[in-house]
Structure 1
Amino acid sequence: MPSIEDFLHPLHKGIWEVSIPRDQVTEPFGEEWVRSQINVPTPGTMASYRSGQYHLHETRTEFKVHLDRYDPKRHPLLHLIDDAPLLLMISETFITLISFTRQQPRPGTGGQIDEQNAVLRHHLILGPLLIFLGVIFIIIPDLTFFGLTTLLIPGVVLLFGVLTLMSSVSIHPFRVSSRNDLIGGVWIIGVAVILGWIPPRLWGGVILVLLSGWMFASSVMLLRRVLRGRRAVPEGFVSRMLIGAVSLLLGGASLIAPEAVLMIFMDILGVLTVTAGGVVTITGIRLRRMMQPE
């Protein structure tokens, strides 16, 4: 009765990823496999699990397992720098969004029709809205950044604080149902007020320091491995070399022209938002056509 672990030996012999057909794994995952909620987007992935340095992607037909260089629980920063560099996350997000356009919605029956009608309405509203927002990000990135930092981020935090505060209080009769939620709500509202007072230039400086630091660190670690040859980069020699080189260039450019680099990231955010909106809209159109009587 083979388990996942029986197929993982090649990962310790220079193979970066193994693909295991689902019908060949008869044993359920052990307790050491924990579902991972935050991952680099990967096309076709239904769920993701981790066990130490092992990272498993579950698809409809197989399990794909690779060996991360660093366990994210033990070395979260090193994992983020080497296993999940910023440019890799951006590129994989774009590829994953594009892959959704190839998926055809499945027809529903009975009670599923009402659910699909609701999904259709959401898609045909949300898709164009995302495209519009993405275009705004690209056309006026400086004004958009100002709105995100001074209005949206503090507003979202404030809303979360208010909801937390409301959940701690019962009106009829009036009583505090949760002291911890009450204190937490007050703290969150206080954080929202502080965030609202932070000037956009300081926001930009902090964000740029974090992004450029991430890119610099990734470029150093990736290019060091690239210089040791292909065997040191089993996940893809050319791709990691390009990611390392571009990360180094962008990190250096952030020291020379920080505002321009920040606007480049706003443009990237805009392109990703437009792409997401396009995927949602296309999915909605396909679903609408599928539901129309022939």
Structure 2
Amino acid sequence: MSPIEDFLHPLHEGLWEVVIPRDQVTEPLGEGWERSQINVPTPGTIASYRCGQYHLHETKTEFRVHLDRYDPKKHPLLHLIDDAPLLLMISETFITLISFTREYYRSGTSEQLKEQNAILRHHLILGPLVIFMGLIFFIVPDLTFLGITAYLIPGVVLISGVLALKSCISIRPFRVVNRNDLIGGVWIIGAGLILGAIPPKLWGGVILVILSGWMFASSVMLLRRVLKGRKAVPEGFISRMLIGAVSLLLGIVSFIEPAAVLIIFMDVLGALTVIVGGIITLTGVRLRTLMQPV
């Protein structure tokens, strides 16, 4: 009977990641481990767990554990800056989406898919729509940015507030079920109205400050470690050096040509949207192919 902790000692001796076959871990994760909902995308990951600085990725065949430099609960900003820089999150998202597509095409049987006619129809309709939406990001980035900031974000917040109010108010008979939820719903609706009143230029400025600040801070942290040598960057010397250098370059460009940097990020968002739409469409095509009689 081997708990996961028995395999983690090499992480404190300079090893970046330990890979443990699932059949070697026969005990469940201990009380200190908590499921993590937000992570840098990683190919093949089924679930992710954290315990302090330990970060575990569960796959079908193994557990992959690495040691973050900062505990996201205690140091969330430092964790984002050093352990999860923006460019790393973007690149890993692309890699994970492509890996997901390849993995899907290697799995699945026609027996399992014969009952998925509804899913097939939804995929073949939704996929092209998502691709079209992604292309809009490239064709008219200015109007798309305006639509997201002036309508989409405030609209989502307003709908969330209305749903919160609906859940805490009984119509017949009329009464407030939960006063705290009522107050929360009113605050959310107020926040949505405020967000809708913010001019696009201010939105762009705020977003640019957040993105450039994130990239600048990541470049400083990463390049400082790179200058100390390979032992200071066990997660990958070359990759972190490139991420730090490109982050620094984009951070500088954001002050010289802020509009260009925003368009670049709109293009990245568009590319991710097109890939997601392509995956949905290919999934529908795959389902239709497997459902056809041999």
Give TM class, smaller chain: over 0.9
Q: Quick check: 1:54–1:68 contact (8 Å CA) kept in 2?
A: yes
Matches within 5 A, 1:65-214: 65-102=65-102, 103-104=104-105, 105-107=107-109, 113-114=114-115, 116-214=116-214
> Aligned residue for 1:59?
59
- With over 3 angstroms needed to count, the CA separation of the structure-2 counterparts of 1:30 and 1:195, relative to structure 1, is same
**CA distance in structure 2 between the aligned counterparts of 1:191 and 1:177, rounded to whole angstroms:** 22
Name the aligned partner's letter for residue 190 of structure 2: G
Name the aligned partner's letter for residue 108 of structure 2: R
**CA distance in structure 2 between the aligned counterparts of 1:258 and 1:153, rounded to whole angstroms:** 22
**CA distance in structure 2 between the aligned counterparts of 1:85 and 1:229, rounded to whole angstroms:** 19
1:108 shift after superposition:
6.5
1:97 shift after superposition:
0.4
Q: Quick check: 1:107–1:291 contact (8 Å CA) kept in 2?
A: no
1:160 shift after superposition:
0.7
Name the aligned partner's letter for residue 109 of structure 2: P
Structure 1, unpaired ranges of 5+: none
Matches within 5 A, 1:26-65: 26-65=26-65
Per-residue CA deviations over 1:100-135 (Å, capped at 9, x if unaligned) read 11123523758x744x22322222222111111110
3-state DSSP class of the match of 1:269?
helix
RMSD between superposed Cα atoms in Å: 1.2
> Aligned residue for 1:246?
246
3-state DSSP class of the match of 2:109?
coil
**CA distance in structure 1 between the aligned counterparts of 2:204 and 2:92, rounded to whole angstroms:** 25
Per-residue CA deviations over 1:127-158 (Å, capped at 9, x if unaligned) read 11111111000111111000100010001111
3-state DSSP class of the match of 2:39?
coil
**CA distance in structure 1 between the aligned counterparts of 2:190 and 2:130, rounded to whole angstroms:** 30
> Aligned residue for 1:21?
21
**CA distance in structure 1 between the aligned counterparts of 2:280 and 2:11, rounded to whole angstroms:** 36
1:48 shift after superposition:
0.2
Q: Quick check: 2:110–2:290 contact (8 Å CA) kept in 1?
A: no
**CA distance in structure 2 between the aligned counterparts of 1:11 and 1:89, rounded to whole angstroms:** 22
1:85 shift after superposition:
0.0
> Aligned residue for 2:289?
289
Q: Quick check: 1:165–1:185 contact (8 Å CA) kept in 2?
A: yes
1:292 shift after superposition:
1.6
Per-residue CA deviations over 1:74-107 (Å, capped at 9, x if unaligned) read 1111000000000000000000000111123523
1:176 shift after superposition:
1.5
Q: Quick check: 2:128–2:281 contact (8 Å CA) kept in 1?
A: yes
1:284 shift after superposition:
1.6
**CA distance in structure 1 between the aligned counterparts of 2:119 and 2:136, rounded to whole angstroms:** 25
**CA distance in structure 2 between the aligned counterparts of 1:181 and 1:128, rounded to whole angstroms:** 39
**CA distance in structure 1 between the aligned counterparts of 2:110 and 2:35, rounded to whole angstroms:** 29
3-state DSSP class of the match of 1:101?
helix
**CA distance in structure 1 between the aligned counterparts of 2:27 and 2:143, rounded to whole angstroms:** 54
3-state DSSP class of the match of 2:241?
helix
**CA distance in structure 1 between the aligned counterparts of 2:182 and 2:161, rounded to whole angstroms:** 9
Structure 2, unpaired ranges of 5+: none
3-state DSSP class of the match of 2:40?
coil
- With over 3 angstroms needed to count, the CA separation of the structure-2 counterparts of 1:174 and 1:113, relative to structure 1, is farther
Give TM-score scaled by structure 2 length.
0.97
The percent of aligned pairs where both chains have the same amino acid is 76
Per-residue CA deviations over 1:210-233 (Å, capped at 9, x if unaligned) read 000000000000000111111111
Name the aligned partner's letter for residue 190 of structure 1: G
Aligned residues: 292
Give TM-score scaled by structure 1 length.
0.97
